[in-house]
Amino acid sequence: MNKIIFTVVLWLATYLGLQAQEFQGMAVYQSKTSTEDMKARLSGNKDLTPEMQKTIEERMKKMFEKTFILNFNKTASIYKEEEKLDTPTQGGSGGGMRFMASMAGGGGTYYKNVKEKAYTVDKEFMGKEFLIKDSLPNLKWKMEGETRVIGGYNCFKATAIRPVSKTDFRNFRPKPEDKDAKKTADALAKPADANKKTNFMDEMNLPKEQVVTAWYTPEVPVNQGPENYWGLPGLILEINDGKTVILCSKVVLNPKEKADIKASTKGKVVTQAEFDEIMIKKMEEWREMNRGRGGNGTMQIRMGGPN
């Protein structure tokens, strides 16, 4: 309890000390998502040669290991993937990989305004531009007693339970009964019954909730963090939801070059729920299209279907 009181007092003292100056900061985050479940499914897919499997695993590794930049001030922030030159895709699987990448939590500029408790993110999906505007998730953080040092900053642990996004590929799990990876892959590869139409999400195992662990530092007194994480008395330096770890590797306070922290204005304005519905509908269309071509259905969406 004394540690928590000290944390709050330190945060308030530092925050009030920054009110008189034009404060801004920048943080670099490395995001890594475990792909072991997907590798197990790949190994059980008899339609893939070892060479194809290796290529897909390499692409997945790149897709799920990314660098993001967070620029923040006292009330708002922008979070964006570090710009890199795209590597040309091979073997005609670029369309499927791009589809999968759009479901992997990347793309667009994520703007958070913690004062207004709102966010705006611009997303390009299937050749169309969307502007998602919605309220920030109200996570009920539980302050824990553990501490650790990250990048020279003293950090405190906090945990929360949050609902799982249905359109973030990183949240997909194998079904509990699918213990045999080969049987799982073969089952997914079977052609669909022409007279029986099932929902795409019926073939996915998606937990309703997930436990999120955050490490934050009161030494950087802003109510910010990566993606849509916020609400702690200090900058969040690490997020772990069991599958994805987002770790801060660098913090720069009051950089010489100030970022323009503003929300994007491009794209068709939709709520998060509306955008999720659009994505799920497209997943359905891709599955039916791939099955109609005699393909692997959902497996082709995951591993790179035809353009």
Burial of residue 248, with CB atoms counted within 10 A of its CB: 0-12 exposed, 13-18 middle, 19 or more buried: buried
* Residue with more model confidence, 104 or 62: 62
Strands 128-135 and 268-270: parallel
- Return the SS3 of 120: strand
- Return the SS3 of 260: coil
Mean predicted lDDT score pLDDT of the chain: 77
Backbone φ, ψ for residue 246 (5° rounding) = -115, 115
Backbone φ, ψ for residue 171 (5° rounding) = -90, -10
Backbone φ, ψ for residue 267 (5° rounding) = 110, 165
For 124, the token pair is: 């390009």
Highest mean pLDDT among 12-26, 31-45, 192-206: 31-45
In which band, very low, low, confident or very high, does the pLDDT at 90 lie, cut at 50, 70 and 90? Answer: very low
* Residue with more model confidence, 31 or 169: 31
User: Among candidates 136, 36, 15, which has minimal Cα distance to 79?
Assistant: 136
pLDDT for res 53 = 72
pLDDT for res 231 = 96
pLDDT for res 74 = 93
Position 72 pLDDT exceeds 60: yes
What's the CA gap between 307 and 301, in Å, rounded?
11
3-37, pLDDT tens digit by residue? 666 555 555 555 554 444 578 999 999 999 876 66
Residue 237: other Cβ atoms inside 10 A: 26
In which band, very low, low, confident or very high, does the pLDDT at 206 lie, cut at 50, 70 and 90? Answer: low
Domain ranges of the chain: 2-303
Position 204 pLDDT exceeds 80: no
What's the CA gap between 261 and 25, in Å, rounded?
11
Amino acid letter, residue 36: E
- pLDDT above 90 covers a percentage of the chain that reads 43
pLDDT for res 306 = 34
pLDDT for res 65 = 87
The answer for residues whose C-beta is within 8 angstroms of residue 184's C-beta and 6 or more apart is 41, 44, 174, 175, 178
108-125, pLDDT tens digit by residue? 899 999 999 999 999 888
Q: What is the largest CA-CA distance in the chain?
A: 68
Q: Which stretch of 37-41, 126-130, 210-214 has the lowest confidence by average pLDDT? A: 37-41
pTM above 0.85, yes or no: no
Position 177 pLDDT exceeds 70: no
